[in-house]
Amino acid sequence: MFFKIRELELKPKRFEVAYAPGEVDLLDPELQQVGPLSAQGVAEFLDSVSEIHVQGDFHILVKTPCDRCLEPAGEEIRQKFDLYYRPLEELEGGVEVGLKAADSDVGFYEGEGISLRDILREQVLLALPVQRLCRKDCKGLCPICGVSLNEQSCSCVSPVVESRWEALKSFKLS
């Protein structure tokens, strides 16, 4: 779905869509979409400030390798979004522009409008957790032999830490 400025100038456009796996490129080959990416909301053109305002919510289930043990980790994401898009021409001219806290939800578009797929891709990627785990108590892999510590124990011995790094043990993280 593409939101054209000319159409939005006439009236807001409501949307309710479901994209099948693969229809929205999530830019990460290890990130697998399971089921549809569904979204609903409304897009409108704010003529007074020449912005496209898009708000709504989405739902998606994705699978990705666990960051500790590499087993599949599922993540269900339900998120609301409320975004503003300004014409890219506002930034051109080589002048540096400072952003305020209120500008954190502002993006830019060029051409005739903006694609809902691009909006959803960005929102899904931003909503993913920084560390993706198959479960909270995942023990990961043994750094020496590579066995999954969730499934079995190993008898590997931790390598000896060089004395020059011992001073770092006294630092406390706050």
pLDDT of residue 165: 75
Higher pLDDT, 117 or 106: 117
DSSP string, the chain: -EEEHHHHHHS-EEEEEEEPTTSS--S-TT-EEEEEEEEEEEEEEETTTTEEEEEEEEEEEEEEE-TTT-SEEEEEEEEEEEEEEEEGGGT-SS---PPPGGGGGEEEE-TTEEEHHHHHHHHHHHHS-SS--SSTT---B-TTT--BTTT----PPPPPPPGGGGGGGG----
Q: What is the mean pLDDT of the chain?
A: 88
Q: How much is the pTM?
A: 0.78
- pLDDT for the residue 96: 62
Give the pLDDT mean for 25-50. Answer: 92
What mean pLDDT is predicted for residues 64-71?
94
Average pLDDT over residues 78-99: 76
